Structure 1
Amino acid sequence: MQTPKKHPTQIVQLSSMANYRHHENQGSNGQKQAEVVVVMVPFPAQGHLNQLLHLSRLILSYNIPVHYATSSIHNRQAMLRLHGCDPSSVSNIHFHDFVIPPFVSPPPNPNAPNKFPSHLQPLFDASLHLRQPVGALLRELSSKARRVVVINDSMMAYVVQDVVAIPNAESYTFHSVSAFALFLYLWEAMGKEVPSLEADGGKNNNIPKDLPSLESCFTNEFLDFIAFHCDFQKLSSGRLYNTCRIIEGPYLDLMEKIRGDKKHWALGPFNPVRIPEKKISSNIGRHKCLDWLHKQAPNSVIYVSFGTTTTMEEEQIKELAIGLEQSEQKFIWVLRDADKGDVFNGEVRKAAVPKGFEERVKERGIVVRDWAPQLEILSHPSTGAFMSHCGWNSCMESITMGVPIAAWPMASDQPRNAVLIAQLLKVGIVVKEWSHLDQIVTSRSVENGLKMLMASREGDVIRKRAADLGGAVRRSLDRGGVSCMELDSFIAHITRP
């Protein structure tokens, strides 16, 4: 296999890996045998696909072969939406296009009382059928490599269960949520009592007193889906996170205390953290919103996007539009419906904005209705804030680029991530409190939140704190940095003799 090019924006120090030897051994049949191969098994939703694809890039930079195994639809989706990096950095990944049974792919319901993307459940159920082809791939690779290392999304644990029957294979569970959110789930499941943490009966100063409830975060059907995978997660050899100890050190320590039976590695940030200037300034294939962004003053634009699983009702879209207009702040607003299970099949709803809105704000704002290059937008010097649903992928991208967040959680782990961002890290504000989840966010609330973050002394302090945290996270990837050392540690572990 051709040695992959190292991505210039992601500094990974190979010199510290003196104990790692990348070569091939002669097998008993005289054929060359690879030392170690890695197999990624992502969960088929955009934020999950994206994270493991970026982790694949990082592992490739250590000259370790990587296989990315999912359905043909979702391989195509992952690659089409890859952004922020040189495409050549993933050119040597082995993509395996597996077939899953046909599944219903309905459009999202903008008026559903629960914002969790329940319309994707048929896809999630169909993904369980990947067990057979993934198992066959692992057995095939095990005959050609000294060790097969499986990195699977926590919600694909059932699919990779056959790894325990392969003597030279081992698996590692990737948690796509923050360590903070995951710890809280486990802590609550344990009755909020973990006596080994503190002498005062399990209390800890890093645990907020008033946590958002889990009401409406998930559907019952998806909670059952999560529970189904939990028993199979016990078969893994360790846990991986897209975070770093600079961001979530206390919660990684807590996870290690209550789940000390396995090794934990914080390998993030997975996404590129230094976007080459030529990437955002080149006219070749550049998104139109970057052309507009180039013309704006530094830190003057708020980026508004609610991820790939959110669909807003018309009334809320109207209030958001009015709030953006009345705030008099510059903005890029990505207004898209949630992804369907098959993003390539069928029409997508074009949500309406108030009549004349785009004409009135054309000098200081644009509405984007297609896929937007989020990393390039967040890394641009003109971007000053990010109004976000607080999905963990978006949180990590915003933190690493030093951009503060106006938190507007919708479902899943997002309400707890909003607490981490605004209350604990203090690199953002909350636009929608989870206790008011059934209420429309008014245009006045939007206006006031944006003005506070973008045009106030308090906002300046928050943005300075976000910039400082982002700088620290980026430096953690340099030689001797905590994230670089953590990734080195994981690679040394999986390539051990």
Structure 2
Amino acid sequence: MADSSDRQQAHPHIALLPSSGMGHLVPFVRLAATLAAHDCRVTFITTHPTVSLAESSLVARLLSAFPHAVTPKGFHILPLDPSTANSKDPFFLQFEAIRRSAHLLSHLLNSSSHSGHPPLSALVTDVTLASAVIPVTHDLHIPNYVLFTSSAKMLSLLAYFPALVGVTHSDEINIPGIPPLHKTWLPPPLLDQTNLFTTQFTENGEALVRSDGILINTFKSLEPETVAALNEGKVINGLPPVIPVGPLVPCECETERGGSSLMEWLDGQEKGSVVYVSFGSRTAMSREQIREVGEGLVRSGCGFVWVVKDKKVDREEEGVEEVVGRGLMERIVKDRKGVVVNRWVDQEAILSLEAVGGFVSHCGWNSVMEAAWHGVRLLAWPQGGDQRINAEVVERSGLGVWVRRWQWGGGGVNVKAEEIDERVREMMGNERLRVTAAQVRDEARKAAELGGASQLIAGLVGEVAAHY
């Protein structure tokens, strides 16, 4: 009979700790499903309260889909007085609330080793929580792997950022081992040393060297030079192994019931004729700019599915007609060329359909990876966060094009309907771009086959079991 150590190594027990926002939660859900497929026992730590309804719904669907392999563990965080943190962003404030509650994890992690389950083999921590959580796991002698939820290029900035001095005084950011980044590509809060996000970013960058490894949702052929620079110590010395585990394959549990009329409409469209337009789960545009987008889509003559959002948090959304404008909605309905929604949609399912031939995107990393997985060409329209750096990855890889002068924010209109119309038609008619996007898709599929992400995750599972 095998002893408890043998059983543990055969079936490692890995806890996952996401932070806040769908951009961070979706990769953790996909990682949980992948680990469960490799016979891991997974404890999924859920923070309470959450910021958005979409987060709560997705976690519930994950737990329902894997009732035996994935065990929930509630993490009730302490309330945060916003006046003690220099930010008004609800997600940055949630990051900080979780970070300040990190000391409560000791009891929770210990209690995760209960009757019938082996002790924890490792914790996978969201990168936004790294500096607060790694000391806790070190004290408990639990290996801690960081999951980085953006591009390898963005990881290079995070790792090197603590060494940068005078960022705001130079137009170029020079990071060893990779081409220079333009200052305007950086997340805007990083230009303010007193901003809460900058504090978190710096502390988490410093903490990376104390982790046991960094998992990243990318694949080598998408960012070969950057992944190599990170692992060869060119960016910084002492960085633990950077393990590309992407693309993290979408999980069936992500599909939310409802919305069948949208999918039926898409099924009735010609192959490659529809452009999907979405700027992410937490990116809000001014209503004036929203209406320019709508006018541009109508003028383009393309079929479209357009997800509109003028509030950061989905609990606050108003009716579509009020956001888009009654006159424009009446034209869209009359022409039957487009569908407009202002709720969470199954983006991955939409991108998987043959009718969808292009994607106008803010270039959140989950969106980029889903476009790569399905070979859907991108028209990049980034705003802040990691989006401009990701847009540069998209352009360099041949997955899409980036109109660098396009901006938004600050209210009003930054891009007129005429140019949106023109650029959408250019993207949808660009045969070279369609071919290169298909090539990226083929590389993504290879990375997810045996010898790609699956093998890397299987190796990680073995390493974690042996480490413990």
TM-score w.r.t. structure 1 length?
0.78
Write out aligned runs for 1:116-195 (5 A). Answer: 118-141=89-112, 145=118, 147-157=120-130, 158-167=132-141, 169-187=142-160, 190=163
56, 63, 69: which is aligned to 1:92? Answer: 69
Find the counterpart in structure 2 of residue 490 from structure 1.
460
Amino acid at match of 2:268: K
Find the counterpart in structure 1 of residue 44 from structure 2.
68
376, 383, 398: which is aligned to 1:426? Answer: 398
Residue 44 (structure 1) aligned with residue 20 (structure 2): yes
Query: Structure 2 vs 1, CA of residues 68 and 427 (structure 1 numbering), >3 Å: closer, same or farther?
Result: same
Q: Deviation at 1:404?
A: 0.8
Write out aligned runs for 1:244-259 (5 A). Answer: 244-256=219-231, 257=233, 258-259=235-236
Q: Deviation at 1:124?
A: 2.4
Query: Structure 2 vs 1, CA of residues 284 and 182 (structure 1 numbering), >3 Å: closer, same or farther?
Result: closer
CA distance in 1, matches of 2:420, 2:67: 39
CA distance in 2, matches of 1:63, 1:124: 30
CA distance in 2, matches of 1:85, 1:467: 30
Find the counterpart in structure 2 of residue 471 from structure 1.
442
Same amino acid, percent of matched pairs: 24
What SS does the aligned partner of 2:3 have?
strand
Query: Structure 2 vs 1, CA of residues 338 and 226 (structure 1 numbering), >3 Å: closer, same or farther?
Result: farther
Query: Structure 2 vs 1, CA of residues 122 and 79 (structure 1 numbering), >3 Å: closer, same or farther?
Result: closer
Q: Deviation at 1:142?
A: 5.6
230, 240, 244: which is aligned to 1:266? Answer: 244
Amino acid at match of 1:396: M
Find the counterpart in structure 1 of residue 389 from structure 2.
416
What SS does the aligned partner of 1:475 have?
helix
What SS does the aligned partner of 2:384 have?
coil
Query: Structure 2 vs 1, CA of residues 339 and 66 (structure 1 numbering), >3 Å: closer, same or farther?
Result: farther
CA contact (8 A) 1:24 1:32 kept: no
288, 296, 300: which is aligned to 1:315? Answer: 288
CA contact (8 A) 1:84 1:272 kept: no
In proportion to residue count, which structure has more helix?
2
Find the counterpart in structure 2 of residue 19 from structure 1.
none
CA distance in 1, matches of 2:181, 2:292: 32
CA contact (8 A) 1:432 1:441 kept: no
What SS does the aligned partner of 2:360 have?
strand
Structure 1: 5+ residue stretches without partners: 1-22, 106-115, 193-200
Indicate the larger mover: 331-340 or 290-299: 331-340
Find the counterpart in structure 2 of residue 17 from structure 1.
none
Residue 326 (structure 1) aligned with residue 307 (structure 2): no
CA contact (8 A) 2:125 2:147 kept: yes
Amino acid at match of 2:36: L
Find the counterpart in structure 2 of residue 16 from structure 1.
none
Indicate the larger mover: 63-72 or 437-446: 437-446
Query: Structure 2 vs 1, CA of residues 434 and 221 (structure 1 numbering), >3 Å: closer, same or farther?
Result: farther
CA distance in 2, matches of 1:123, 1:188: 22
Query: Structure 2 vs 1, CA of residues 404 and 91 (structure 1 numbering), >3 Å: closer, same or farther?
Result: farther
TM-score w.r.t. structure 2 length?
0.83
Residue 450 (structure 1) aligned with residue 424 (structure 2): yes
After superposition, give the CA deviation of every residue in 1:354-405 in whole Å (9 maximum; x if it has no partner).
4321222231101011111100001111111111110111111111111111
Query: Structure 2 vs 1, CA of residues 410 and 104 (structure 1 numbering), >3 Å: closer, same or farther?
Result: farther
What RMSD over aligned residues (CA atoms) do the two structures have, in Å?
A: 3.5
Query: Structure 2 vs 1, CA of residues 103 and 86 (structure 1 numbering), >3 Å: closer, same or farther?
Result: closer
Q: Deviation at 1:414?
A: 0.3
CA distance in 2, matches of 1:347, 1:409: 23
CA distance in 1, matches of 2:348, 2:144: 30
CA distance in 2, matches of 1:51, 1:309: 16
